[in-house]
Amino acid sequence: MLRETLTAMRDLPRMKEISGVLIRHGLGEFAERLRLPRAVEIAGEWLHLKKADAAEATPTPVRVRQALEELGPTFIKLGQILSTRVDVFAPHWIAEFEKLQNEVPPIDAAQLPALLQSALGAAPETLFASFDAEPIGSASIAQVHRAVLKEGGAVAVKLRRPGIVDKVQADLRILSYLAGALELEFPDARRFQPQEIVRQFTRSMTREMDLAAEARNMERFARDFADDAHVTVPGVHWAYTNAMVNVQDFVEGVPGSRLDLLAAEGIDPADMARYGADAVLKMILINGFFHADPHPGNVIFQPGPRIAFVDFGMVGRLSHARRDEIVDLLAALVLHDERGMMDVLIEWTGSKQIDEAQFATDIGELVFAYEHVPLKNIRISQLIGEMMELIRNHSILLPADLAMLFKALITLEGLGRQLDPDFLLIEHLTPFVRRLVAERHHPANLIKRGRHTLTETLGMLSSLPHDMARLGKDMRQGKFSVNLDLRRLDSFAHQLDRSANRLTMGIVTGALIIGSSIVMTVNAGPRLFGLPFLGLFGFLIATINGLWLIASIWRSGKRA
């Protein structure tokens, strides 16, 4: 609690700003429920920030998106991350989060030489034969310029914005505080684990601000596709790359946002859709390391034909076990296997208790709806959407890597259909699934898994006597303990403390009324308006206490 208080005091100016933005967009009650510091609430009163009539008429998802845009880079990125949580938010919320734009005014050109000098340790004119001060892309974390190295070769120079690290870190501290308050004040929000989402978002933002980490991602992708003639990954110039700047090969071609230019370059859109889908599915199912945001702005189409991926700040990682689960789920979908789907989805629920009978019924209805539908008529985005609706209805929260994966698949299918109206992602997905299932049952892989299982079993059996002996020793020495996770105990203690305070105030108020009544019968002492002053003063204090009690109880009921 002390740490949270110090954090709130440290970031008070920013919290005032956040409170003002929330009130301005008609989200003042939300700010109040989150128990922002009292000084922040007072700031809203000082500024007279009331909900506008227009805000009241605007749907809540729109107002939240507008507030996130006004709050700046960190909150825009948060909204973009939330747009991947198709397991948490309904489609109309996802649609609003997807509208969040990361375009911001460029860095002042006069600052660029000093920034490059600080990032690269040398004057830009000594490193570059030419440097275009006009950025080709300007986002919240960094912006990109085209340049030519002294030794030749066009490069893209991605430069981190000045002061962005301190600002993002302050916002991340505030988000951590708000996530804790959200779980405290909104019981229904606890199932979405806002604190865990913020922790994952913090790790993601920390990696994204380190441009050298993005460069390492690029090299990993380059190795994965070294033998693929249809995929381009820009090369990294490590002599000019660090946490503040990323210098990479400049990729020529047709941006994914300008599909109207493909014909002039002699590029077949259907080929691009096919090669792009195969590349992303290979990332997901074979490599376990994928571009998490394959939207049109992050792909470039080249003659050859080749497809180039850029901007590797947001990536997803899948363990071997997770990839096996995904293959099992996809295989169950293709084979209409209700039990197989249910086993995987229940595995993803973790420790959450669900109504398995109703869950099985709902999965059966989903499978039945697609049982006789030809493969060519199945859209993976629609199928994932229905599956996510089922998951939301049962309050299941997917692991973060899976939420990002499903969002990537939906984005991929959308891009594919822009390129080719007849594109069907599931036609590309099915061969991958069949291949992976066949490989899993190959005798060599069966022997390998059997050997691994046998080794684990023997290791467990060999350590069992030692573990039992240690347990017995702990019990004899009184060291054996049972840990109970009493969730929400802090909230219960707070409510208990508040109730005790009210009870004490009520007793004091009652005593004042009784004591003042007795004093009113005594003729001695100072008088006011002909009545004993002490008795009147006691009644005044009792009245104030009573009003405070009524207001406190009313506010508590309103929050509930």
What residues are annotated to the active site?
A: 293
CA distance 145 to 159: 8
Assign 427 to helix, strand or coil.
Answer: helix
Tell me the C-alpha to C-alpha distance, in Å, between residue 46 and each of 21, 39, 41, 52, 329: 14, 10, 9, 17, 55
317 φ, ψ to 5°? -125, 135
Cis status of the peptide bond prior to 305, with omega within 30 of 0 = yes
Burial level of 499, CB count in 10 A (0-12/13-18/19+)?
Answer: exposed
Q: What is the dihedral of CA 475, 476, 477, 481, to 10 degrees?
A: 10
CA distance 287 to 402: 15
CA distance 432 to 410: 17
Place of tokens 């007793």: 507
Q: Which pair of tokens denotes residue 172?
A: 């991340």
Task: State the SS3 of 111-136.
Answer: HHHHHHHHHHCCCHHHHEEEECCCCC
Q: Which pair of tokens denotes residue 167?
A: 């600002």
Q: Which of 214, 210, 251 is nearest to 119 (CA)?
A: 210
Place of tokens 């208990």: 496
CA distance 520 to 533: 9
Contact (CB, 8 A) for 395 and 191 = yes
Q: Which of 21, 30, 36, 27 is nearest to 177 (CA)?
A: 36
